[in-house]
């Protein structure tokens, strides 16, 4: 799989991380302050700003680089904060090494690398799952990377598996045919997005003669033509130790580990021809690469796409130099000044003015070139030409009049803090090293980069704007949506529901998986059971504090019982309105003052309403925690909801709603939920244009006064702080938060199961991929079957590569890029659901196969070995999860929200280990209902011509 987003606004984009790392991807010894620094004390703050941010080169301080005789580069970094380790193999090959006709072959090979080897003819996803490894892979422009994070006692096993597939992977015709369908399904998912289609057109215009202008994942036309010989040749040419970087970060001893690496990888031979493009026409690839150095000369005529969709888009792309050029740090500072935060130049001119509903931008710095891209989502009824004119005027004004020292220092602080905060977990630290080594040719790149950032001056920013951000250099694209109609076909007959010729056969037995696993000590390492300290104030506010001095950062997570479940029927969206406008002004500070106070420290604070509450997320450097807490306390106690900001937010929300209703996944989710839960049920309500227009300022004020209370608020903090000082600080900030009367309560009505299969088909014209949701009402967090249900779900669909559904629907039949199941259990009864993405023509078959698998497990149950494997996976994954500060903080918080015993943080794994085969099969009989299920498939109109099977 591959993607285009980055961890943070920072020059070397890590273009994909799995759905969970992102999830899932220091520098000061100053203690947290106990006093309250004044936000307005600007002069004093600025005089110490750079002193506070100057850092030693600690990102790579204890990194060791070793090169084996066969050319394999090894980067090791010991981090002993938790008994986990990440193993990553980065190959110096990506879509940069392709050409038209074989576009996407690197991505296709990445998929095939999970299909098994000569020594282990089994889906590697099952092996990683059996190890409890949080594993995945991605393809980017300059590299293809494979990564896994496990408990430290599985380190050698991961090394053995990676060495095996570096040399012995098999490309079988049948498997390639199946996986080509999976890749095409993935590409169709990207094609659903107007942003993706516009980006493709603009990038091709910017780089007409370079592979950077090709889509990383390829095109359907090219993927369909891939032959076994092509993929095998590409594998032989590029997958060799002398073209790879092995990264190991975590809790291990370097000397011993290097000996293991030499034993496992040292015998792998160099390969002849490594680095040669695999193409049936070498002369063409040589010409294509040679022409690639210079981007296209731009012209003033925009590229215009008029296609089905929602929302007008503008994308401007400016060619930039490669990652090692000296202008890159100043370019990133420039980006932060132009687009990062509400005080930024373009945000003020475009979003605050109402011309745009959203603005994103990023600097991409790669091995051979780079680019700066700005993406603008137009506001309702706003003209793209006008937006383009304002965009150009702002950049020209900055080029002419310059930027202030304050702007530059703030941008440098934000950028530096982003790097620090993005390197808190070991997976991200490994990603940083691998990306730096393969893109810039130096694992110490980030240290050099940060040192250069500190030296950027206002004149440097103006210089790079004048040099690169000229109208003559750029390419601009407009997306103009055509009229779209959404229709629904409700309650389609299921007479053919079980007629699909589906024969899953025997699943791959866990004993078979065990046969191919490298030797490993299955006894997990004991996790240090350090529990958070809990405090409750007289006003009912609960806080949980867990000091962790491994990095000079703090992670904050919070929960307020003010979620969407409290939305009035005619004002759906009210809870989200309140949460998303809290930062827009208080009795003493306006929106820009608040935004500036956070930005000057590189801190973040966000509020998001979900069904059962409002989620608070924040992080900062340790020394800036007082500011973070001061702002949090001010906005939850004193927010004023200014009329101007509220109306601007309404227009942005209406535009966002229009976009959401153009996404098959969102439409499928809405229709699915509303098909299960009846009107008047708290889960049935979703915002509409009408309901959003009904919300008045007084409604927002009243909702906030009623539901934002200290006695329904929980805060959890993990990080580098003194326990007593932070407790005192929180008491000073929140102790006067008053409570009145009883907290509002809500009782969910019982919802019966559907009496039959209900099929619903919302049609979205112009979409390439279909999204299906299947399920019904589920259980709550307190259900005695909860832990058994987790084990059952892991076997059924907890992992798209190793589960029963993944093995059959994705891996064997190639019908879906991703298929997952889950029991969404909260305080109230949640939902059991299965989600999949398919090509439209494959939807019926995939749905039938899924129902048959549900029927099979419902009637026949699962095996004892499957249960043991699933339990081991869940326990290992949980232990890895606790090593991530954000995940740890959230887990601490939600245990308190659910009023679980404080020991639950560590007793969870014991409860999983105690689950029996009988309990899992009982849960399967009671919780899997293949004949009482709601099936919603949203996608192109071709679906309307077929009955859902």
Confidence of residue 519 (pLDDT cuts 50, 70, 90): confident
* Mean pLDDT, the chain, integer: 87
Question: DSSP H helical segments within 402-527, as ranges?
Answer: 405-421, 426-435, 445-454, 458-468, 510-516
**If pLDDT is split at 50, 70 and 90, which confidence band does 48 have?**
very low
Predicted confidence band of residue 297 (pLDDT cuts 50, 70, 90): low
Is pLDDT above 60 for 372?
Answer: yes
**CA-to-CA distance for 208 and 808, rounded, in angstroms?**
40
pLDDT confidence of 913, banded at 50, 70, 90? very high
Q: What is the pLDDT of residues 198-246, one digit of tens each?
A: 999 999 999 999 999 999 999 999 999 999 999 999 999 999 999 999 9
Position 902 scores a pLDDT of 86
Average pLDDT of 49-69? 69
Lowest mean pLDDT among 234-243, 272-281, 817-826, 917-926: 272-281
pLDDT in tens, 799-810: 888 899 998 999
More confident residue, 29 or 538: 538
> How do strand 244-250 and strand 73-78 relate by DSSP bridges?
parallel
Higher-pLDDT residue of 914 and 286 is 914
pLDDT, tens digit, 9 for 90 and up, residues 440-498 = 999 999 999 999 999 999 999 999 999 999 999 999 999 999 865 454 444 433 333 32
Tokens of 139: 């393809």
What band does 9 get if pLDDT is binned at 50, 70 and 90? very low
Q: What is d(CA 949, CA 946) in angstroms, rounded to the nearest whole number? A: 9
Take residue 659 and report the two structure tokens written for it. Answer: 């976009």
Residue 947 burial by CB count (10 A; 0-12/13-18/19+): exposed, middle or buried? middle
Averaged pLDDT for residues 349-360: 96
Considering only 527-536, 621-630, 631-640, which range has the smallest mean pLDDT? Answer: 527-536
Give the model's pLDDT for residue 942. Answer: 55
Q: Name which of 631, 732, 603, 632 is nearest 40 in CA terms.
A: 631
Q: Classify 237 as helix, strand or coil.
A: helix
Six-digit token string for 657: 């709603």
Q: Which of 29-38, 333-342, 545-554 has the lowest mean pLDDT?
A: 29-38
- Average pLDDT of the residues in 708-731: 96
At CA 794, angle to CA 120 and CA 905, rounded to 5?
115
Rg (CA), the chain: 27
Measured CA to CA, the distance from residue 662 to residue 309 in angstroms comes to: 6
For the chain, the distance separating the N- and C-terminal CA atoms, rounded to the nearest angstrom, is 28
Mean pLDDT across 828-836: 94
What is the spatial distance between Cα 523 and Cα 106, in angstroms, rounded to a whole number?
A: 37
Q: Please say if the pLDDT value at position 23 is more than 60.
A: no
- Pairing type for strands 713-719 and 831-838 reads unpaired
Give mean pLDDT, residues 327-349. 97
Mean pLDDT of the 850-876 span: 94
Residue 24: what pLDDT? 26
In angstroms, rounded to a whole number, what is the distance separating the alpha carbons of residues 569 and 706? Answer: 17
């Amino acid at each position: 799989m591959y993607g285009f987003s980055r961890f943070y606004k920072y020059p070397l984009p890590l273009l994909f991380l799995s759905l969970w790392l992102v999830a899932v991807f220091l520098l000061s010894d100053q203690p947290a302050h106990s006093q309250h620094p004044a936000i307005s004390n600007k002069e004093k703050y600025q005089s110490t700003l750079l002193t506070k941010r100057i850092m030693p080169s600690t990102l790579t301080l204890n990194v060791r680089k070793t090169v084996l005789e066969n050319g394999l580069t090894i980067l090791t970094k010991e981090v002993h904060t938790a008994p986990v380790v990440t193993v990553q193999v980065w190959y110096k090959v990506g879509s940069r090494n392709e050409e038209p006709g074989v576009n996407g072959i690197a991505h296709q090979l990445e998929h095939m690398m999970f299909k098994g080897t000569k020594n282990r003819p089994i889906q590697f996803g099952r092996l990683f799952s059996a190890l409890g490894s949080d594993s995945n892979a991605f393809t980017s422009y300059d590299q293809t990377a494979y990564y896994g994070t496990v408990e430290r006692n599985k380190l050698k096993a991961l090394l053995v598996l990676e060495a095996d597939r570096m040399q012995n992977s098999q490309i079988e015709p049948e498997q390639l045919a199946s996986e080509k369908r999976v890749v095409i399904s993935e590409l169709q998912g990207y094609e659903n997005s107007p942003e993706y289609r516009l980006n493709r057109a603009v990038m091709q215009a910017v780089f007409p003669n370079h592979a950077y202008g090709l889509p990383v994942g390829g095109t359907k036309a090219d993927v369909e033509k891939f032959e076994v010989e092509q993929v095998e040749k590409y594998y032989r040419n590029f997958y060799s130790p002398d073209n790879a970087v092995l990264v190991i970060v975590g809790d291990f001893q370097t000397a011993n580990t290097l000996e293991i690496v030499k034993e496992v990888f040292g015998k792998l031979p160099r390969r002849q021809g490594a680095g040669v493009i695999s193409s049936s026409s070498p002369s063409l690839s040589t010409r294509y690469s040679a022409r690639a150095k210079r981007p296209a000369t731009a012209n003033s005529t925009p590229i215009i796409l008029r296609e089905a969709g929602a929302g007008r888009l503008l994308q401007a792309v400016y060619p930039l130099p490669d990652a090692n050029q000296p202008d890159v740090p100043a370019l990133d500072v420039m980006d932060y000044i132009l687009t990062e935060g509400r005080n930024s130049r373009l945000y003020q001119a475009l979003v605050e003015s109402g011309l745009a509903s959203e603005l994103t931008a990023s600097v991409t710095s790669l091995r051979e070139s780079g680019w700066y891209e700005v993406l603008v989502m137009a506001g309702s009824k706003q003209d793209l030409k006008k937006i383009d004119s304002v965009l150009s005027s702002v950049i020209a004004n900055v080029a002419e009049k310059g930027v202030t020292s304050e702007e530059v220092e703030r941008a440098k602080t934000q950028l530096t803090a982003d790097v620090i905060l993005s390197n808190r977990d070991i997976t991200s630290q490994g990603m940083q090293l691998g990306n730096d080594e393969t893109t810039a040719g130096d694992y110490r790149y980030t240290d050099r980069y940060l040192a250069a950032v500190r030296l950027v001056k206002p004149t440097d920013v103006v210089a790079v704007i004048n040099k690169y951000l000229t109208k003559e250099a750029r390419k601009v694209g407009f997306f103009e949506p055509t009229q779209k109609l959404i229709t629904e076909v409700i309650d389609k007959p299921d007479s053919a529901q079980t007629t699909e010729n589906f024969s899953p056969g025997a699943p791959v037995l866990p004993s078979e998986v065990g046969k191919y696993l490298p030797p490993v000590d299955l006894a997990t390492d004991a996790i240090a059971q350090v529990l958070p300290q809990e405090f409750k104030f007289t006003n009912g506010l609960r806080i949980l504090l867990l000091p962790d001095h491994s990095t000079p950062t703090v992670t904050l997570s919070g929960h307020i019982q003010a979620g969407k479940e409290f939305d009035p029927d005619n004002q759906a969206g009210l809870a989200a309105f309140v949460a998303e406008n809290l930062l827009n002004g208080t009795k003493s500070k306006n929106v820009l003052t608040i935004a500036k106070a956070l930005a000057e420290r590189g801190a973040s604070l966000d509020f998001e309403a979900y069904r059962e509450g409002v989620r608070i997320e924040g992080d900062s450097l340790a020394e800036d925690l007082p500011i973070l807490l001061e702002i949090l306390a001010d906005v939850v106690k004193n927010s004023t909801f200014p009329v101007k900001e509220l109306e601007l937010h309404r227009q942005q929300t209406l535009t966002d709603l229009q976009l959401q209703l153009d996404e098959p996944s969102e439409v499928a989710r809405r229709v699915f939920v509303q098909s299960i839960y009846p009107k008047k049920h708290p889960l049935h309500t979703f915002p509409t244009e009408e309901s959003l227009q009904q919300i008045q300022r007084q409604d927002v004020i009243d909702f906030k006064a009623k539901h934002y209370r200290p006695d329904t608020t929980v805060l959890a903090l993990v990080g580098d702080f003194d326990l007593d000082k932070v407790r005192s600080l929180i008491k000073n900030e929140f102790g006067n938060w008053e409570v009145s009367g009883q907290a509002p309560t809500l009782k969910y009505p019982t919802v019966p199961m559907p009496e039959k299969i209900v099929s619903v088909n919302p049609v979205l014209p112009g979409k390439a991929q279909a999204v299906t949701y299947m399920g019904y009402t589920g259980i709550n967090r307190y259900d005695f079957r909860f832990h058994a249900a987790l084990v059952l779900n892991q076997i059924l669909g907890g992992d798209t590569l190793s589960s029963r559904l993944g093995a059959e629907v994705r891996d064997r039949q190639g019908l879906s890029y991703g298929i997952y199941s889950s029991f969404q259990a909260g305080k109230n009864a949640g939902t059991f659901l299965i989600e999949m993405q398919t090509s439209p023509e494959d939807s019926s078959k995939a749905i039938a196969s899924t129902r048959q698998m549900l029927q099979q497990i419902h009637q026949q149950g699962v095996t004892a070995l499957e249960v043991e494997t699933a339990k081991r996976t869940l326990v290992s994954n949980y232990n890895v999860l606790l090593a991530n500060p954000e995940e740890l903080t959230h887990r601490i918080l939600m245990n308190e929200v659910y009023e679980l015993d404080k020991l639950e943080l560590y007793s969870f794994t014991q409860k999983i280990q105690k689950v029996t085969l009988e309990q899992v099969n009982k849960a399967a009989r009671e919780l899997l209902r293949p004949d009482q299920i709601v099936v919603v498939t949203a996608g192109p109109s071709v679906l309307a011509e077929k009955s859902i099977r």
